[in-house]
Amino acid sequence: MSPSVKSAGIPAFVLAKEQALFARLQTFPALAVAYSGGVDSTYLAAVAHDALGGALTLILADSPSIPRSEVREAIALAEERGWPLQIVQTTEFDKEAFLANDGTRCYHCKTELFTQMDAIAKTHGIPVIAYGEIADDRHDPTRLGAKAAAEHQVIAPLADAGLSKEEIRRLAKARGLANWNKASFACLSSRFPKGTPVNIEEMHRVEAGEEFLKAHGFHQYRVRHHGDLCRIEVEPRDFPKFLDPAFHEALLANFREIGYKHITLDLAGYRTGSTATG
């Protein structure tokens, strides 16, 4: 068994997947991992650090699409764990193909990240680059990062090991990773409907709205941007919070201050990809 795992309650077949992951990572003389602070890349970082120690380098993309709070939390976690971390300023917002948001945005974003990771790897003699795709992702046609990964020979050790999101959460919890139950996150650019150009100023409005929801204890949430209208998605179990008069007034005041004229709650609740088809 790989180090740092408390296996109580975890099925043997899941532990076997982690052992296979650990053994594979040990075969690399050095490795660079795309790290975001989400549960998948954090778990991959933890196992890779156990396998490789100082031969591991984490690379965090500091993009305008990533909320400042997410960047701070990712850096703090890496520092707490003693993981070697490099931060790169990605420039996807300089590319018209990304800004057009025509359905291939994720491909252009990952291409920018992997291009920068390639340069770092070559400079430091790192032969292998990895990212946190998981087994579930291979069934999601909206995730175009895999195309960019294939073009840059970036491996996906978690997916190759057959690890699902639920399995990764259990293993991350067993390793004492504080973010094991962190909500799924996609970059802020995903809040714009397909075909609506991505705009940094408008994206900052989305970020401010989501930070308000985060500060008020929501676990899974999205602020979908539709011009001067925002569509809030939360889990249906959280709908009653919107009936609290104090919270209701505070939300309206906050969202109007950041520039939304119409503030709506989507009764379908939180779901992935709800802006993908416009």
Q: Which CATH code fits 12-174?
A: 3.40.50.620
Residue 1 has a pLDDT of 46
pLDDT of residue 7: 65
Write down the domain spans for the chain. Answer: 12-174, 188-265
Q: Starting from the edge strand earliest in sequence, which strands make up the sheet with 262-265, in order? A: 221-226, 229-234, 262-265
Q: What is the pLDDT of residue 272?
A: 80
Query: Positive or negative, the Cα torsion across 115, 124, 59, 7?
Result: positive
Residue whose C-alpha is closest to residue 205's, from 177, 235, 225, 178: 225
Q: Can you give the pLDDT at residue 278?
A: 43
Give the chain's residues under pLDDT 70.
1-8, 141-142, 273-278
DSSP strand E in the chain: where? 31-34, 56-61, 85-88, 128-130, 221-226, 229-234, 262-265
C-alpha 137/C-alpha 3 separation (Å) is 27
Which pLDDT score, from 0 to 100, does residue 274 have?
66
Cβ atoms of 275 and 193 within 8 Å: the answer is yes
Answer for the pair 150, 107: CB distance below 8 angstroms, yes or no: no
Domains 12-174 and 188-265 share a fold: no
Question: Would you state the pLDDT for residue 138?
Answer: 80
Looking at CATH, the fold of the domain delimited by 188-265 is given as Alpha-Beta Plaits (3.30.70)
> So what's the pLDDT on residue 49?
98
1: DSSP letter: -
Residue 116 backbone phi and psi in degrees, to 5 = -65, -35
